[in-house]
């Protein structure tokens, strides 16, 4: 292949682009005490700002636990991929797509 200019370079460092998908209840605004249910992509900076003064948990600990769980889930999914045949349809495959 010919060398080409990379077209999708990030303008900011990766650390500035880090976001987490938050599922569940998350307050939309300060005066909204009930919050709203859904899914949001939230930057680490915004999470930190929202929860830095929490007395219920340490955000850094919560994120570390989440990342440990994600690593375990990824290893399990990888093991399932390695043992799959071309015609296996795994649980969670979008639209019943085949594992190739």
Give tens-digit pLDDT for 20-45: 888 877 666 667 666 677 888 888 88
Torsion angle (degrees, nearest 10) of CA 36, 70, 98, 39:
10
Quote the strand ranges of 1-100, DSSP E. 19-26, 36-43
pTM as predicted: 0.57
Q: How far apart are CA 58 and CA 61, in angstroms?
A: 5
Average pLDDT, the chain: 78
């Amino acid at each position: 292949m010919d060398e080409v200019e990379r077209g999708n370079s990030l303008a900011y460092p990766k650390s500035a682009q880090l976001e987490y998908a938050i599922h569940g209840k998350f307050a939309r605004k300060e005066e909204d005490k009930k919050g709203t249910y859904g899914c949001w992509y939230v930057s680490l900076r915004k999470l930190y700002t929202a929860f830095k003064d929490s007395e219920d948990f340490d955000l850094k600990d919560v994120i570390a636990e989440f990342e440990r769980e994600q690593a375990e889930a990824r290893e399990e999914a990888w093991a399932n991929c390695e043992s799959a045949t071309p015609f296996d349809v795994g649980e969670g495959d979008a639209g019943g797509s085949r594992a190739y």
